[in-house]
Amino acid sequence: MQGIVISDVIIGILATGVRLLAPFLFASLGEMFCQRSGVFNLGVEGIMMMGAFVGFFVTLRLGNPYLGVVMAILAGIVLGLLMALISVTMQAPQGISGIGLHMFCWGLSGLLFRVYVGFITSIDGFKPLPIPGLADIPVLGPILFQHNWMVYLSILFVPISWFVLFKTNWGLKVRAVGVAPQAADTLGVNVNAVRYQCLMLGGALAGLAGAFLTVGQANMYADNITAGRGFIAVALVYFGRWNPVGILLGSLLFSMMNSLQLWIQVLGINFPYEFAVILPYVVTIAALAVAVKNVWAPTALGKPFRRESI
């Protein structure tokens, strides 16, 4: 313990924080598109569980983690479609259908794991991919540039999402459909098609987030491996005010607090670990309470769209 240099610890905390960002960023950016289009998808957590299992299982059986990620994304898209079918086409209340989807995925992933695997085993996931030249920069190198490719991708998704949302024709439709679906409809925008697309994108990203947990981080699968990250991702969308930059800030805050509590435990600092584990959640709730007040929100969020209503 004595040999540890304070600066190394700080770099370690920051580097772990960046690594923990990925699942939050994938899941909440996907959820942001869903909510921007007016659909509140509480099933993210469940989709992440399925993504985590599919990513793990494909990698375990076929030995190819890339294939695992692709299959996890496909599973996410299918589940996103299921959510769209229930909440957009059948117009079921979104909160309940999201919770239903979550329970379904939780049960299904657990069942599949017990039937086809049955014991805890590890897989060969992705190795860190230090970026040549940048990885050797003191301080910044270890913090930012010595992660696996999924971490880089998740951070790249922030500017990409921003660009798609604010600079493309499709992004304009998404923004319109979540605020004034009737108005978008009168201009010939297919409201439900846009919502389907957003739910599929959100599902794909949630599946990717889940796969990261097994293939990119833990290299194993355990029941409830997502541990509420999907619900945190939903909260982060509110915290980030439906904006990719805000979501990045919220995710950073949360993952850094998580990293801090991990390091508190690792270093054996004299601090009850129960409190350490609570820390990130307390900070998130406090931050939400302060930040999410009188905030603009997509006004049609949670409301199914029906054209012929008088």
Partner 1 sequence: MLKIHGISFEQKQDPGRCRITMESQEGLRIKDVKMQGIVKTFPGVLANDHVDIDVHAGEILALLGENGAGKTTLMKVLYGLYRPDSGEILINDEPVSISSPRDAIDLGIGMVHQHFMLVPSLTVTENVVLGLRSSRGPLLDLESAAKRIEELASRYSLAVDPYSPVWQLSIGEQQRVEIIKALYRGAELLIMDEPTAVLTPQEADELIRVMRGMADSGRAIILITHKLHEVMAVSDRVTVLRNGRLVDTVLTKDANEKLLAQMMVGRDIPQTLRTDETSQGDPVLVLDDVWADSDKGPPALRGLSLEVREGEILGIAGVSGNGQREMAEVIAGLRKISSGSVRLKGEDMTNSTPAKMIQAGLGYIPEDRIVDGIVQSFSVEENLILKDHHKPPFSHGIFLQKDAISEFAKEMVEIYDIRTPSIDTQASHLSGGNIQRLILARDISRNPACLLACYPSRGLDIAATEYVRKKLLDVRAAGCAIILISEELEEIFNLSDRVAVLYEGQIVKVADVDDVTLDEIGLLMAGAGLTETDDGNSRELVDMI
Give how far Cα 246 sits from Cα of 96, 116, 186, Å: 27, 40, 31
Q: Is 187 in the site for partner 1 (CB under 8 A)?
A: yes
What ranges in 187-271 are assigned the alpha helix state H? Answer: 191-211, 229-239, 244-267
Q: Is 179 in the site for partner 1 (CB under 8 A)?
A: yes
> For partner 1, which residue of 182, 193, 222, 223 counts as binding (CB under 8 A)?
182
Question: Min. distance of Cβ 177 from partner 1 in angstroms?
Answer: 9
What is d(CA 233, CA 257) in angstroms, rounded to the nearest whole number?
15
> And the tokens for 49?
């569980």
Residue with tokens 């108005």: 183
Q: Is 7 in the site for partner 1 (CB under 8 A)?
A: no
Question: Min. distance of Cβ 36 from partner 1 in angstroms?
Answer: 10
Write phi, then psi, for 187 (nearest 5 degrees): -95, 10
Question: Min. distance of Cβ 181 from partner 1 in angstroms?
Answer: 9
Nearer to partner 1, 180 or 277 (CB): 180
Residue with tokens 């270890």: 142
What is d(CA 172, CA 146) in angstroms, rounded to the nearest whole number?
36
Nearer to partner 1, 75 or 184 (CB): 184
Triad 70, 39, 222: Cα angle to 5°: 40
Question: Min. distance of Cβ 166 from partner 1 in angstroms?
Answer: 8
Q: Is 2 in the site for partner 1 (CB under 8 A)?
A: no
Question: Min. distance of Cβ 104 from partner 1 in angstroms?
Answer: 33
Q: Is 291 in the site for partner 1 (CB under 8 A)?
A: no
What is d(CA 54, CA 221) in angstroms, rounded to the nearest whole number?
10
Of the candidate spans 55-63, 127-135, 167-175, 257-265, the one that interacts with partner 1 by CB under 8 A turns out to be 167-175
Q: Is 188 in the site for partner 1 (CB under 8 A)?
A: yes
Interaction site with partner 1 (CB under 8 A): 167-173, 175-176, 179-180, 182-189, 294, 296, 307-308, 310
